[in-house]
Amino acid sequence: MYNLDNLMDEISINQGNIVRERGNLCYIYNTSKKAHLFISKEVLEYVKQAAHIKLSLKDFINKFQCEDDKYYMIEAMHRLMQLGYLNIGKSKEENQNKNFDCVYITLTNRCNLNCIHCALNSSPVEKDILSTEDIFIILKNISKLNPKTIIFTGGEPLLRKDLELILRQAVKLMPNTIFSLSTNATLISEDNIHLFKYFNKVDISIDGVNEETCAKVRGKGVFSKVIN
């Protein structure tokens, strides 16, 4: 037996799933979960209509008179929710944001260091690809996702002369977002220390436990600069 007494939340459909149709069969692929599901085209149309008119799950299931149909639809809805195609009782904003707890923004590939392990091959000879305006556009698009945290990384973000402009725009667009800086800390000075008021958190990269071990990875003098 099933109990629908507490299923009064509205049905809503998540965006971002890939849906393909062939005959009376639909293929749904969730890009974030890397999972898929085959389902009847007729059943999927019922679900879409229920979401469109904002039916509760209870009202939707009770539209079917046959008990077998009700059981079948409950099972189908459960599978669609497991896949991430469907939500019951969450707003569109919550649905869209559930996979965006944290967003990394690579501000530059330039770096004042040339660490041997760098996956981005960042170095002093690299050039910025994104202009200030490019980053403003990116921030505007990211703000629609309402992420909980944004991590500004690189390269070395402190090399950007327009960093304060970028941070002001980020705070303006996302006042409730947590901002984090990923830095090698060697460029922190009296001239830029005021920028740290924009950050809730600072992550400092360092390898080794002393000057000798750190120098093998990050270069001579880095360890003392970071500690200072």
Give the per-residue pLDDT at 69. 87
Query: Where, residue-wise, is CATH 3.20.20.70 in the chain?
Result: 100-227
The answer to whether 165 and 119 are in contact (CB under 8 A) is no
Q: Which of 158, 160, 182, 178 is nearest to 170 (CA)?
A: 178
Q: In CATH, what is the architecture of 11-95?
A: Alpha-Beta Complex (3.90)
Q: Which mean pLDDT values do the consecutive 10-residue runs of the chain (228 residues) have?
A: 55 85 89 86 91 86 87 87 78 51 93 89 89 96 90 95 97 94 96 96 92 94 93
Distance between CA atoms of 12 and 48, rounded to whole angstroms? 8
Q: Which of 60, 51, 166, 194 is nearest to 108 (CA)?
A: 166
Give the per-residue pLDDT at 222. 95
Give the per-residue pLDDT at 68. 86
Give the per-residue pLDDT at 166. 98
In sequence order, what DSSP letters do the residues of 108-164 get, joined into one string? -SB-S---TT-TT--BTT----S-HHHHHHHHHHHHTT--SEEEEESS-GGG-TTHH
Say which residues have a Cβ less than 8 Å from residue 75's Cβ, sequence separation at least 6: none
Torsion sign over Cα 88, 90, 91, 92: negative
Give the per-residue pLDDT at 81. 87
Phi-psi region of 142 (alpha: psi -120 to 50; beta: other; left: phi over 0): alpha
Structure tokens at 129: 């690809």
The answer to whether 83 and 2 are in contact (CB under 8 A) is no
Superfamily of domain 100-227: Aldolase class I (3.20.20.70)
In degrees and rounded to multiples of 5, residue 203 shows phi and psi of -105, 125
Q: Which of 130, 132, 137 is nearest to 155 (CA)?
A: 130
Q: How many CA atoms lie within 13 Å of 166's alpha carbon, on the beta-carbon side?
A: 29
